[in-house]
Each structure stands twice: as C-alpha cells, then as structure tokens.
C-alpha cells in the first residue's frame, strides 16, 4: 500500500530501516525476520584479527550506554569464509563496514571486499589515522577527503562513509566526503564520553573513555543530520538513539533518507521489525504514499500566524 523503497547511492533498499554496525549479529535471526530488513550492516571488519579493548567494555548511563568495544575482528579470511556465506542465504543486501589505520589499508580492504554478495561498503572512518596524528580520519576534512578519494578508486560498489559526531563543523566533513566521491553518508558514530564509578573512583569502561549511544545522543545527531542534509546532495543515513518509529520519522524529517538502529536492539531484540511495521502504519494513517515524501520535510516556519503563537506563549 505504501512505497517504503529508498535509493541509497545506487542501492535500492526495500525499506529505510537497517541495523547499525556492531549492534547486530548472526544469532539475531532467531528473533528478527532478516528478509524484512532494508539492509544488513556488518560489524566493522579489519584486515587482521584484533582483540578488543580491556573490560569492562560497556557501561549503562542515563538514557544511553558507553561502549569501548574497540573493534575486535576475526579478520578478512574468516569474514570471507564464514560471515559472507551466512548472509548470502538472505535476500537482504549486505553492507560491509570496514576500518583500517591507513589510507592504503582502507583501499585494499574495499578492493578485496568488492565481491559477489556484497552490495555496498560502509567506511567507518571514525578510527585513528596512524600515518598522521592518530586522530580519527573523520575529524578532519582533509583526511576525510584523502581516504574517501582513494576508496572511490578502489571500489565500484556504492560507497557509504560513516562520520563521527565528535567534530565542530560536521557539514565541512560531509562536503569533503561528498566531493571525494562518497555515495551516501552515515551520520553518525558514537559521541566520545566518560563515566566514573564513585565507589571505586575508576572509569566505568576499561579504556577510560568510550562512545555514548542511545536516546541521550538523539537530539545532537538529528541536528547533525539536518546540517549535513543542507550541505550535500547525496543521501544521508541517520543513526543515533532511534528506539521506535517516531524517532526514525524525526530523522527522516531532518533530512535522512534511511536510518540505522543500534542500541535499541540490545533493549528490544525485535526493535528493527517493530519500527518497520510502525513506520508503515504511520504512513497509512497519514495517507502518505511514499516514505521518500518525509525526507527533509521538516517545516521551519509555523503555519500558524505569528500573533497566535505569541498569544499562546
Ligand atoms: C556495542 C556497540 C558496538 C559498536 N560497534 C561499531 C562498529 O563496529 N562499527 C561502527 O561503525 N559503529 C559501531 N558502533 C556504533 C553504532 O553503529 C552507532 O553508530 C551508534 O551506536 C549510535 O546508534 P544507536 O544510538 O542507535 O546505538 C557500535 C555501537 C555499540 C553500542
């Protein structure tokens, strides 16, 4: 009845709802009908096997959680031999999230993963650039431009670039990624945060600082999606604190063409499919035929005459 399809840089997905990298895994097929999802997004994969950060790796905070998982990875051979065949069983397109400490590392990973069964690459550039100052690529427009340009040469697949929210002017980074050839921007990764246990005086995650996710970050990331949507022409995927369909709709109104859902899945394992159902019900109830009609539809001027607003305040 309603058309939920969206075009994400040449990859047309059947609906705009998908998991956020690192918050979704193979076992979830017990509770979620994988074929209903707009796409799969894998946990970030690195070339080598990597352990994670020291424990504890997760701490709950008010309206959110801090994680310092640290991208543990089984490496590329395992990914190709085990993870890819698992996802090939489903009709849902597979987006592979990649990370590397150098530009060439990113490019060679993208080239090696541009193979059958992979529908798009999501470059997680919120990782340290070890060839320069160790700051995340996505913290500088110049480093973003350099890594995305090289990635663009390395793969013909749709190239999604995931930004960090830990910057002053995210629109500048978005423009740099677009001009270097990104097809889609994912906005955004977690917000750098810290929590301290007042009994032990120890940081609550083993790596001292970690990434804040969940409802606590949603208004900040909605603002960044809005800013990015005004700065670039390529589609944006909103990600941060989406717990239900209303949150997803808010992101679409701010300018996102699709959304990724992370922390909500830890709270309600079937959150993704509930959001798809409730988004569909919203569109039917409002008589909106295409989900695309919501994208960027925020109204910045009130339909009410100013005098009415003043009288009501
Ligand atoms: C436990 C955990 C692991 C994550 N791992 C990754 C990862 O491997 N790659 C990545 O790009 N983002 C990773 N993220 C960030 C999420 O993909 C997402 O950007 C962030 O959590 C904000 O969305 P949310 O508030 O819906 O969780 C992780 C988040 C959490 C909570």
Give the closest residue (by CA) to ligand 1 atom 5: 22
Per-residue pLDDT, 253: 98
In angstroms, the CA 168 to CA 191 distance is: 12
Give the closest residue (by CA) to ligand 1 atom 7: 22
For the chain, the residue count is: 313
Q: How far is CA 256 from CA 44, 61, 251, 292, in A?
A: 22, 27, 6, 10
Q: Tell me what percent of the residues of the chain surpass a pLDDT of 90.
A: 86
Beta bridge partners of 187: 163, 238
**Mean pLDDT lowest for which of 40-54, 87-101, 190-204, 239-253?**
40-54
Which of ligand 1's atoms lies nearest the C-alpha of 41? 17
The verdict on the CB of residue 164 being under 6 Å from ligand 1 is no
Per-residue pLDDT, 313: 45
Cβ atoms of 232 and 213 closer than 8 Å: no
Confidence grade of residue 307 (pLDDT, cut at 50, 70, 90): low
User: Using one digit for the tens of pLDDT, what is the confidence trace for 210-239?
Assistant: 999 999 999 999 999 999 999 999 999 999
Mean pLDDT of the chain: 94
What's the CA-to-centroid distance between 261 and ligand 1, angstroms? 9
For 197-246, give the DSSP string: -TTT--BSSTTS-EEEESGGGHHHHHHHHHHHHHH-SS-EEEESS--SHH
What's the CA-to-centroid distance between 20 and ligand 1, angstroms? 6
What's the CA-to-centroid distance between 152 and ligand 1, angstroms? 24
The verdict on the CB of residue 262 being under 6 Å from ligand 1 is yes
Angle, alpha carbons 254-239-95 (nearest 5°) = 120
Across 52-69, average pLDDT? 93
Across 93-109, average pLDDT? 97
The verdict on the CB of residue 189 being under 6 Å from ligand 1 is yes
The verdict on the CB of residue 166 being under 6 Å from ligand 1 is no
Q: How far is CA 32 from CA 18, 19, 92, 275, in A?
A: 12, 11, 13, 12
Residue from 20, 109, 136 to probe ligand 1 pocket by mutation (most atoms less than 8 Å from CB): 20
Confidence grade of residue 1 (pLDDT, cut at 50, 70, 90): confident
What's the CA-to-centroid distance between 74 and ligand 1, angstroms? 18
Cβ atoms of 58 and 267 closer than 8 Å: no
Across 76-96, average pLDDT? 96
Across 183-199, average pLDDT? 97
In angstroms, the CA 2 to CA 260 distance is: 20
In angstroms, the CA 204 to CA 209 distance is: 8
Residue 257 pLDDT exceeds 60: yes
What is the C-alpha end-to-end distance of the chain, expressed in Å?
A: 40
- Stretch (H or E) spanning 7: strand 6-8
- The model's pTM is 0.96
What's the CA-to-centroid distance between 50 and ligand 1, angstroms? 17
Per-residue pLDDT, 133: 84
Residue 311 pLDDT exceeds 70: no
The verdict on the CB of residue 190 being under 6 Å from ligand 1 is yes
Q: What six digits make up the tokens of 92?
A: 């849902």
In angstroms, the CA 241 to CA 219 distance is: 9
- Residues with catalytic annotation? 127
Alpha carbon dihedral 172, 173, 178, 179, in 10-degree steps, equals: 70
């Amino acid at each position: 009845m309603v058309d939920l399809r969206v075009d994400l840089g040449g990859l047309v997905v059947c609906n705009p709802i998908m998991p956020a990298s690192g918050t979704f895994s193979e076992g979830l097929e017990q509770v979620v009908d994988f074929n209903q999802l707009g796409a799969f997004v894998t946990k970030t994969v690195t070339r080598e096997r990597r352990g994670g950060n020291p424990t504890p790796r997760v701490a709950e905070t008010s309206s959110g959680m801090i994680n310092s998982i640290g991208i543990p990875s089984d490496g590329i051979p395992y990914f190709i031999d085990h993870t890819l065949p698992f996802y090939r069983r489903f009709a849902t397109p597979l987006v592979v999230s990649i990370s590397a400490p150098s530009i060439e590392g990113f490019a060679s990973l993208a080239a090696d993963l541009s193979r059958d069964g992979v529908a798009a690459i999501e470059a997680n550039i919120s990782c340290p650039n070890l060839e320069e100052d160790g700051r995340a690529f996505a913290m500088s427009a110049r480093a973003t431009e350099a890594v995305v340009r090289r990635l663009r040469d390395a793969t013909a697949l749709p190239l999604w670039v995931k930004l960090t929210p830990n910057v002053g002017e995210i629109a500048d980074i978005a423009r740099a990624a677009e001009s270097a050839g990104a097809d889609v921007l994912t906005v955004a990764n977690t917000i750098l945060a810290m929590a301290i246990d007042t009994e032990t005086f120890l940081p609550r995650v083993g790596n001292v600082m970690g990434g804040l996710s969940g409802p606590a970050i949603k208004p900040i990331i909605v603002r960044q999606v809005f800013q990015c949507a005004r700065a670039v022409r390529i589609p944006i995927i909103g990600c941060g604190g989406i717990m239900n369909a209303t949150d997803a709709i808010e992101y679409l109104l701010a300018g996102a063409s699709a959304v990724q859902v992370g922390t909500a899945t830890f709270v309600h394992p079937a959150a993704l499919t509930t959001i798809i159902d409730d988004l569909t019900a919203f569109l039917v109830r409002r008589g909106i035929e295409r989900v695309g009609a919501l994208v960027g539809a925020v109204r910045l001027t009130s339909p009410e005459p100013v005098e009415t607003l003043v009288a009501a305040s």
